[in-house]
Homo-oligomer: A and B are copies of this chain.
């Protein structure tokens, strides 16, 4: 899509530049030929060295753009991003190349592997599994029945995913009109699951809006867990059943999340942190330790508080 076509589509028809725009991305990750955006001033400093060819942003921020980057100005940049994201949304099927299946792999007859997908060696892809276009599955992987892997996702070696889990479903992102309607931000990223990860049954891992949601090597995720878009789960982390990560949160390595615990979005959790069952994290955790409660506190303080509450109750 030519930049002037995008501009016209978004109501910025004064832009006449005919550069070909191949995709959307964040300021930090955009490369030449991509369009980016500034919708939250905390990312302002990423304007200076963005490689994007064009940026959607408020008029007041134009002076921060590097020389040669085209500005599409708007009071509601996030809404324009949502509207534009649909233009770059990839179709469910986008390849005519038959899937490649590695030696020794067993594909059940009711599994559905899209064209353009690649399956490694010695995999077991059981009944009802879906593997999307351009998805890549490593060696010695077992996908139990009715697992769904959306397009473009990458699954490492020796990964085991239990029945009914969903990898790469759309992240939950919308721009909101003044009338309270929600405009979908198409999620054009993927999920990367590294080697030796095990994922339980009926767990959901959303794809990134741009870039990747990443489950790092050796992590173990239980049943009915929710991993939001653009999360990063550090190496050897453990997420117990019914826990949840809101979008863009990063866990360091060896983080343990107890059952039904959860974090808000855009947080960072220090490596080797343990979050007790049912804990709720609303701020980043810088110092490793054992934390409990909602609001979250150090576990030993939580125990103290419970003792104090018990005393108050008796009085």
Contacts and interface: CB of A to CB of B under 8 A. Distances in A.
Interface of A: 92, 108-110, 112, 124, 126-128, 130, 142, 144-146, 148, 150, 160, 162-166, 169-170, 172, 174, 180-182, 184, 198, 200-204, 206, 218, 220, 222-224, 226, 228, 236, 238, 240-242, 244, 246, 253-254, 259-260, 262, 264, 272, 277-278, 280, 294-295, 301, 304-306, 308-309, 312-313
B204 A201 contact: yes
Given A164-B202, A166-B163, A305 B313 contact: yes
Contact of A223 (B226, B277, B304): B226
10 tightest A-B CB contacts, nearest first: A112-B127, A148-B163, A130-B145, A169-B201, A166-B201, A204-B223, A162-B169, A145-B148, A163-B166, A201-B204
Given A130-B146, A242-B244, 15 more contacts: A110-B128, A126-B130, A128-B130, A148-B164, A163-B169, A164-B164, A164-B166, A169-B200, A181-B218, A202-B203, A222-B226, A224-B226, A241-B246, A260-B262, A262-B278
Contacts of A182: 218, 220, 236, 238
Secondary structure class of chain A's binding surface, majority of residues:
loop
Nearest to A127: B112
Nearest to A241: B226
The number of times this chain is found in the oligomer is: 3
B163 A130 contact: yes
B222 A224 contact: no
Contacts of A262: 242, 259-260, 277-278
A308 B313 contact: yes
A304 B313 contact: yes
Contact of A174 (B124, B126, B220, B246): B220
9 contacts: A128-B128, A128-B146, A162-B169, A169-B201, A172-B240, A182-B218, A201-B204, A241-B244, A242-B262
